[in-house]
Chains A and B, each alone.
Chain A
């Protein structure tokens, strides 16, 4: 397990990484956080990043901007970011506030994503 301030980044095999935000995550330092995460993803030749939203009942526009920024940075280094465990309350609130398609995709969890699912 590797650690960026406020983030637990765990390699879960086959180029997949699990990102679990902690309570101490400070998204106002977005630039430093993105740099730290991308550095680690590149070093380990990651292909997918799963961002765990299980502990977030609401995603406000500020947090959404952070997710989008991280997803765009991941795209830039050929890593696909997917959110997992999105709470119904968060999805509901977010669907009302966003106007465009998010830069990340969502899936239930890592196990489901790895099942044979023809896109």
Chain B
């Protein structure tokens, strides 16, 4: 009846974890090389480090595409059409004989610009409105809140396409549309954060000192919300890149003449290319996925490291 219980499976894993902590607690504490707790936490998160590396590699090969890429992106060579990958063309060539690798590198510039630009723009609008009206309250606050509700009750891609159909396709239009449809979530988050900070005593004290609303709001309160805002910017960059590629894939995003990741993969709409010329669309699809994944890894690490409820 009283058999010794031997932990199995999950219990065993946990037991091992406890043994490890036990062993570590016997030894004196190691000196911490990196003093910043947030940075240390982020670097101890293996996935976010991997993410950061992938992100930087893709980012730099796009930024310096004109130096690094083997061919000019638009160079048409009709005798080299639809070449499979070779030493000459690492990713092969497309229907017009353009080097796919060079196009992917240059395409990254526009796609990343759209993603990052829209995310920053949306964050700027959202944070400014959310911080100020969240602090001030009043009818303007309710009005802006209502407007954001209107925007957010649309499925995002429907609203984006609706606006695209009204404004027509162009890079600038797309950026504006993304900012217009994307500020709502940052706004709500910032506002909620400000509402909770507003009740804290130090804000009451600042107000008693007679500081101006602007100074209290942007100098003293906003920095407390910076962590979640940073996470939001990261994650919405990923989202906007996905949206840009989806729209361009549908042929409704950035005008087709401009090489973007979405526009490159657009040709896979053609069944024969999909079937027999995989090198035109598969690598760029992988690059998009990898890039977005790396941003998501970074965002996740950022979220964990800015979360003060987790000790470490």
A binds B: no
- Residues in B lying within 8 Å of A, measured CB to CB: none
